[in-house]
Amino acid sequence: MSLNHGAIWWSELMTRDLPGSVKYYADVCGWSFEELPAGEEDYRVAVAHGRPVAGIRDVTGLEEFEGADPHWFTYIAVDDVDAALERTRFAGGRVVQAPMDVAGVGRIALVSDAGGAPLGLLTPVFPTDDLVAEDRRHVTEAELDEDNFPV
């Protein structure tokens, strides 16, 4: 099992007020934003400390979100999406959307857990363990001075 199996990997805000949401998260969290071409959709990638941390998606006019309140949607990393779907069924969950490959992202599927809560499962397209180990080392060194006190 990889170091990232079970880690929260990505979150997306589904909103009908993209400018208001971008302003809020810029003001409150200090995020900057990059516009990402997503076909007809308006999508922003939130960036913190030079790294992408979340997405904000404008769901205005999208039928599947009609009547839904704005909400955050979370993706959890798994080593094998297809195997995780079998475990989902066995554990009382439900497959909502069959797995699909997303270029540059990985293999994703949408499910609901045994209590009905929706979530995404994702097998990232690139090796993840090296990134986790690198991030942990980098954060530790960057946040500590030579006396090992937080900077």
Range with lowest mean pLDDT among 38-42, 68-72, 123-127: 38-42
- Mean of the per-residue pLDDT values for the chain? 85
pLDDT, residue 42, reads: 83
- What does the pLDDT average to over 86-102? 95
> Which domains does the chain carry?
1-6+74-151 (3.10.180.10)
- Greatest Cα pair distance in the chain: 56
Q: Could you count the other beta carbons within 10 Å of the beta carbon of residue 43? A: 17
Q: Is the pLDDT of residue 102 over 70?
A: yes
pLDDT, residue 16, reads: 95
Q: What's the angle, vertex CA 141, arms to CA 138 and CA 144, rounded to 5?
A: 140
Range with lowest mean pLDDT among 2-6, 75-79, 89-93, 133-137: 133-137
Q: Is the pLDDT of residue 148 over 90?
A: no
- What does the pLDDT average to over 136-143? 42
- What does the pLDDT average to over 97-126? 92
Q: Which residues pair with 71 in a beta bridge?
A: 14
Query: Any residues with CB less than 8 A from the CB of 73 and at least 6 apart, and which?
Result: 11, 12, 13, 14, 118, 119, 120
Q: Is the pLDDT of residue 149 over 90?
A: no
Position with higher pLDDT, 101 vs 125? 101
pLDDT, residue 39, reads: 67
